[in-house]
């Protein structure tokens, strides 16, 4: 029908041009109906699907733009969170290092104090030991000197006098002489 009407319209327009005047006849009405029908068919079968496809495409593009914005915002938020976490980790690491340094310094001081105390204790013990040894050596020397003096006196006198009485005399003498020399 479309092609017949189109042919009819073309021949009618040739007839009109040939006559030089436009007349309202059945051909023009059929041409108008064919154009109107063609417009409706194009609208239903071409414009609606094309418009629907364009709307879907526009919606998809807008959804992609929105998703990209959301992804960028999430990435920015993650970047800020990462920076905060990194800053927190650095602060914590510095705090741990500072605590370790303080602890090491405290341990060093404790070790030095303990070593000084031990050295002082060793010095005191050594001083006491030296004093005890000195007194023991003096006592032994006095005993040996007393024994020698008694032995010499016994030989000079030629007789053995009471050892116990002689030892007391010599010890008393040495104590008196030792007290005078100090």
pLDDT, mean over the chain: 83
Q: How far is CA 87 from CA 44, 46, 74, 97, in A?
A: 63, 60, 20, 15
Which token pair is 13? 């327009």
Picking from 136, 171, 179, 141, the residue whose alpha carbon sits closest to that of residue 163 is 171
Q: Is the pLDDT of residue 93 over 80?
A: yes
Report the percent of the chain where pLDDT is more than 70. 77
Is 50 exceeded by the pLDDT of residue 1? no
pLDDT tens column, 12-59: 555 545 455 567 788 999 999 999 999 999 989 998 989 999 999 999
Exposure of 113 in the CB half-sphere (CA atoms within 13 A):
6
DSSP tag of 120: H
**C-alpha to C-alpha distance for 11 and 5, rounded to whole angstroms:** 10
- pLDDT, position 31: 93
């Amino acid at each position: 029908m479309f092609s017949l009407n189109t042919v009819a319209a073309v021949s009618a327009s040739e007839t009109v041009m040939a006559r030089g005047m436009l007349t309202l006849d059945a051909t023009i009405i059929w041409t108008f109906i064919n154009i109107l029908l063609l417009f409706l068919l194009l609208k239903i079968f071409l414009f609606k699907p094309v418009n629907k496809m364009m709307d879907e495409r526009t919606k998809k593009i807008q959804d992609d733009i929105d998703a990209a914005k959301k992804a960028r915002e999430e990435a920015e938020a993650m970047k800020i969170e990462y920076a905060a976490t990194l800053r927190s980790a650095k602060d914590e690491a510095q705090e741990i290092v500072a605590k370790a340094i303080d602890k090491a310094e405290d341990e060093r001081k404790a070790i030095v104090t303990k070593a000084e105390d031990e050295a002082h204790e060793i010095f005191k013990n050594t001083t006491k030991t030296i004093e005890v040894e000195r007194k023991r050596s003096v006592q032994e020397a006095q005993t040996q000197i007393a024994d020698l003096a008694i032995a010499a006196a016994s030989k000079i006198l030629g007789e053995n006098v009471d050892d116990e009485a002689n030892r007391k005399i010599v010890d008393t003498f040495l104590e008196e002489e030792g007290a005078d020399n100090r």
